[in-house]
Structure formats: structure tokens, C-alpha cells
Amino acid sequence: MTADVVIAGAGPNGLMLACELSLAGVRPIVLDRLPGRTEENRANGLVGQVVRALDRRGLYERLSGSSEPPRPAPAFVFGAMPLDLSRLDDNPMYGLQVPQRRIEQVLEERALELGVEIRRGHELTGLSQDEDGVTAEIAGPEGPYRLRTRHLVGADGGHSVTRKLCGIGFPGVTRDDSVSRSAHVTVPAELIDPVTGGLNVPGYGPIPPFMHHRTDHGMFVYAPFPTGTLVNATEWNQDAGDQPMSLDELRESVRRVLGVDLPIGPPEGPGPHQLRRLSGGNTRLAERFRDGRVLLLGDAAHVHSAIGGPGLNLGLQDAVNLGWKLAAEIHGWAPPGLLDTYETERRPAAERVVMHTQAQSALIAPGPEVTALRVLFTELLRDGRTTKHIADMMSGADIRYDLEGTHPLAGRPAPDLVLETETGSVRLAELTRTARPLLIDLTPDAALAGALDGRRDRVDLVTAKTGREGLPTALLLRPDCYVAWASDSPNPDAKERDTLRTALASAFGPAR
């Protein structure tokens, strides 16, 4: 049996890649060692530019239950210090409160709609590759078998079997000096502030919701999610013990962190409910993201602290970046080196997440020196420029790929636009749901259409107008909605059309 792409791992990243490949006309096979979707809730929401990416595939509406486009959050947190984002003219911090199990459910439903084959209970156990493809050895419910594929992608998490089978190193740092305890709980209604939604802890004071709250003894989080109230307490240099996690253990940890008792009870509702203890943490980055015809995705390529919620923001955008490039390679129109740009573009993004999560971990550590450093950071965060810098960094909006052209938008995510077409107003996000490259021509006479000759099989043309001033007159968008080329000229001359053709060739291969 032969497949174009085999994906090891049916978590959010593997399923997102499967959807992207399928939209591009490639039918992948997804393997997962578990017999069904996990009920464990590893994340409670999405933060950053990934929210816009999901909107541009029509998935935001399914996840949010709203037909309204995503809106930036007015506030967030950095290193357990509040970020006031309401002052920013261009706020990049989008957020969506949705449990990871729901994200996986929606992505699986979408993948099945697109014809993706998902094999649960099938585990990758070995692989070998040659110039033409990869032979995957798989342990299935009915016994072992082999599957031949042109490319194999490891989306199988931080303990990636794929990465280990390829002999790819995973250097980094392991820390064992922290213990994090979290559980779904109930709290007395009289302790909840009816205005702010925060928690008024007797003997301690108010604690805002969804914000990391640091003390000299640890960190506390109160998060009243729609699916259940989550409480977390993190401590340093404290023995985790070897007994199963219990609600009493969480109560004792909260008492040590806050210095007072917090009356919490068992959760209500059918669940699943979280009751988890995590010791230490890893920060690691794969030595390379590609080994011949095998590629790594998401946690298989990078792991880091969960502070600030960057994991799915990073991994799902990896999938959107890789999907169209891998499909172009399979369809035969990829320009030389296109697939290698997956690593050259996404590794810097991973390095940046590693950097700022380590910085935040340092800022929440105990000790008077850290307290003094936080006082300084609090002063710096009063400057709107500092807030914008950190918001761009945490959301991923500061990533710029090295693409053709000198236009300020080249290599950056496309701006949110409302276009006036012959059939009426349409958001740009509604035009990108097919995951095809787009040339958006806003010039008065649609002067750039001829540049697509020989590439109309792989690049779509949108002619429109927009009522906003100061916008480019033309945009060439990659399927991941990054700007490959842009122009401000209302009447592009021959030289500008030549630069467009160069950008087309660089991103989407030679004309047929």
C-alpha cells in the first residue's frame, strides 16, 4: 500500500496538517497509537495569531460558536504581570477559550469531512527511507504491517518516536525544581466577585481571574472556564511525593503559596475533570526539523514551558506552514528548496517561544531578587511601546519571513481586510478557506491579472476594492496567509509586474 503522506500523531497539530494537505489535494493517512481521542485536557484555549489562522480556514466559528470574527483580548499576562492591551492601536493578542479536547474533536471532524483516513490504535514502530520514499513499520490492532509513503511527518509529541527513529538530537534543559498541581474544583459563590469575576480569598484579598498570581512562595491561578473552574498552584524546591494526586494535596499547596486556606470542593458536572501533578519541565529544540523525507511538527520538534499558552499557537502554525509546501512538493511544482524553508522559517519562531517562556519562568521564581526585577518590569510595562513589543512576541506577530520584495508587509501575516467584490462585501478570511495562494488585485483596472499566466492552476485571482486608505493596491498571499509580495502603486508598471512574476516563481514555481 502506498500513501503520499503518513502523519504519526492525531493530536491537534497532526490533524491540522492533515486538513491542510487535504485542502491542497493530497490525501494523508494519520496514525495514532491510542484507540480513541484522549479525554485529558492539556490546554484550555488558544492565544495569538493561530486564532486568526483558524478563522481563515473557517474553524474559528466552529470552535467559538459565534459567527462574529475574532477580536483581540483587552488584557493578557506576561510572567505573572498584567499586560494592558486596550491602549494598543494594533493589538495582536487574539484569544479563544476552548478546551483542547474540543479542538481535537473539531479538527478530526473537519479532517474526516475532507476525506482524511485516521487509523487509531496504529503505532509507528520503525522506518527506513530511500530516494523515493519512506517505509513505515506499524503495529496495528490486527498485527504489524508496512506502509510505503512519499513523506512521513512526526507529530507524535515531545517523546516523538519519529524523531528517535531518525536519530535527531533533542538538546535542551530539564528542570526538576518545580511542582505544579491543578484540578477542576468548586469554590463558594460568596467568594466570587460579581463585577470582575475574580476570587476574594479570605485573609488574602482579591485575585483576578485567568491571571498568573505570583507570591514569594509560588504561583496561583484561578481560571473560571465555561467548562469548569480550574485552580493551579506551583511551588519551587518542594517534594512532589509519590502518592496519587488528591484535592487535599492541592489545598495544602494553595495554603503554602497564599499563606491562607482556600475552601475548595470537588468539581460538579460530568467531566472529564482535571486532577494533575506535574514535576519539573523541559525546554528542548530538535537539532533539525527534517531528515530526508521525514519531517517533525509541533512538540516533536520543540517543547517548552506552557506559561503564556504558546504551545498550540506555535504547533498549529507549523502545520499551516508545512502543509502547502509539502503538497507543492508532491504535486511537482515546488521551486527548489521550498520544503527546506519549513525549518528556516519555523525554527526562529520556536527559538523565540523558547526564549520568552524561559524569561517568564525566571520572572515567576521565588526570591527577593526576582521581586525587585518584577518591580522594574512593572515600570517598563507602563510604556505602550514595551507592551506592544511583548504582545507581538507572545502572539507570534513579530515573525517576519525572508521573502521577495522590500515592501513592509512582505514576509508578514496578511492584514485583516474587507473587500468589495462584484458579489458584495467579503472578509479576506472568507477567501482563504480553500488554502490556495491568492493574488488580490485592488488596482483600478485589475492590471496584474496577466502575471498569473501559466500559474492559474495553483494561484487564484481576486479583483476587488476596499474603502480603507493607506492599504496596498495588490497583495500576493501564500496559503498560510503570509504576504509573498505587495505593491502600493495604483498603476503598476512593467518593472513592478516583473517583481511580481519573480515572487510568483520563488513561492509557487515556474509557469507551465
Q: Which helix (H) or strand (E) holds 252?
A: helix 247-258
Beta bridge partners of 72: 94
Give the separation between CA 239 and CA 254, rounded to whole angstroms: 15
pLDDT score at 135:
97
Lowest mean pLDDT segment, chosen from 151-155, 219-223, 321-325: 219-223
Same-domain check for residues 335 and 439? no
Query: Would 357 be classed as within a structural domain?
Result: no
Give the separation between CA 243 and CA 177, rounded to whole angstroms: 18
Give the separation between CA 511 and CA 403, rounded to whole angstroms: 19
Same-domain check for residues 230 and 299? no
pLDDT score at 423:
83
List the one residue out of 155, 162, 429, 163 whose CA is nearest residue 318: 155
Q: What share of the chain has pLDDT > 90, as a percent?
A: 74
Angle at 23 between CA 20 and CA 28, to 5 degrees: 65
E strand residue ranges, 49-122? 75-78, 81-84, 95-96, 117-120
Give the amino acid at 386: T
Helices (H) and strands (E) counted in the chain, each on its own, are 12, 26
pLDDT score at 49:
94
Query: Would 419 be classed as within a structural domain?
Result: yes
Query: Would 354 be classed as within a structural domain?
Result: no
> What mean pLDDT is predicted for residues 4-21?
97
CATH number reported for the structural domain that contains residue 450 in this entry: 3.40.30.120
3-state secondary structure 430-493: HHCCCCCCEEEECCCCCCCHHHHCCCCCCCEEEECECCCCCCCCEEEECCCCEEEEEECCCCCC
- 390-448: per-residue pLDDT in tens? 999 999 999 999 886 678 999 999 988 899 888 889 999 999 999 999 999 988 877 88
Helix, coil or strand: residue 64: helix
Same-domain check for residues 276 and 229? yes
> What mean pLDDT is predicted for residues 194-212?
92
> What mean pLDDT is predicted for residues 66-86?
92
**C-alpha distance across the termini of the chain, in Å:** 31
- 176-187: per-residue pLDDT in tens? 888 999 999 999
How much is the CA Rg of the chain, to the nearest whole Å?
24
Question: Largest Cα–Cα distance of the chain, in whole Å?
Answer: 73
> What mean pLDDT is predicted for residues 167-182?
90
Q: Which domain covers residue 128, as residue numbers?
A: 1-42+100-170+286-346
Give the separation between CA 85 and CA 80, rounded to whole angstroms: 15
Confidence of residue 459 (pLDDT cuts 50, 70, 90): very high
pLDDT at 466 over 90: no
- 338-364: per-residue pLDDT in tens? 999 999 999 999 999 999 999 998 999
pLDDT at 269 over 60: yes
Same-domain check for residues 310 and 331? yes
Query: Would 129 be classed as within a structural domain?
Result: yes
Q: What is the mean pLDDT of the chain?
A: 92
Same-domain check for residues 251 and 316? no
Query: Would 112 be classed as within a structural domain?
Result: yes
Same-domain check for residues 248 and 295? no
Confidence of residue 467 (pLDDT cuts 50, 70, 90): low
Helix axes 384-395, 341-363, angle to 10 degrees: 130
Give the separation between CA 326 and CA 294, rounded to whole angstroms: 11
Give the separation between CA 503 and CA 476, rounded to whole angstroms: 8
Instruction: Please say which residue of 255, 281, 307 terminates a domain.
Output: 281
pLDDT at 388 over 70: yes
Confidence of residue 222 (pLDDT cuts 50, 70, 90): very high
Tell me which residue has cell 518516536: 161
- 120-159: per-residue pLDDT in tens? 999 999 999 999 999 999 999 999 999 999 999 999 999 9
Query: Would 353 be classed as within a structural domain?
Result: no
Give the separation between CA 253 and CA 247, rounded to whole angstroms: 10
Query: Would 325 be classed as within a structural domain?
Result: yes
Give the amino acid at 60: Y
Q: What is the dihedral of CA 471, 459, 58, 35, to 10 degrees?
A: -140
pLDDT at 1 over 60: no
List the one residue out of 146, 151, 153 whose CA is nearest residue 131: 151
Highest-confidence segment of 37-51, 257-271, 334-348: 334-348
Same-domain check for residues 245 and 387? no
Give the separation between CA 106 and CA 112, rounded to whole angstroms: 10
Dig out the grid coordinates for 105 from the structure: 474533536
Q: Which helix (H) or strand (E) holds 262?
A: none
Q: Say what the pTM is.
A: 0.92
Give the separation between CA 200 and CA 203, rounded to whole angstroms: 9
Same-domain check for residues 300 and 422? no
Same-domain check for residues 223 and 253? yes
- Are 104 and 12 in contact by the 8 Å Cβ rule? The answer is yes
pLDDT score at 495:
87
Confidence of residue 465 (pLDDT cuts 50, 70, 90): confident
3-state secondary structure 326-339: HHHHHHCCCCCCCC
Instruction: Please say which residue of 281, 299, 314 terminates a domain.
Output: 281
Query: Would 404 be classed as within a structural domain?
Result: no
38-77 in b/e form (b: 16+ CB < 10 A) is eeebbbbbbbbbbbbbbbbbebbebbbeeeebbebbeebb
User: How many domains does the structure of the chain reveal?
Assistant: 4
Q: What share of the chain has pLDDT > 70, as a percent?
A: 98
Same-domain check for residues 35 and 162? yes
- The number of beta carbons lying within 10 Å of the beta carbon of residue 396 is 22
pLDDT score at 39:
73
Confidence of residue 78 (pLDDT cuts 50, 70, 90): very high
- Are 371 and 378 in contact by the 8 Å Cβ rule? The answer is no
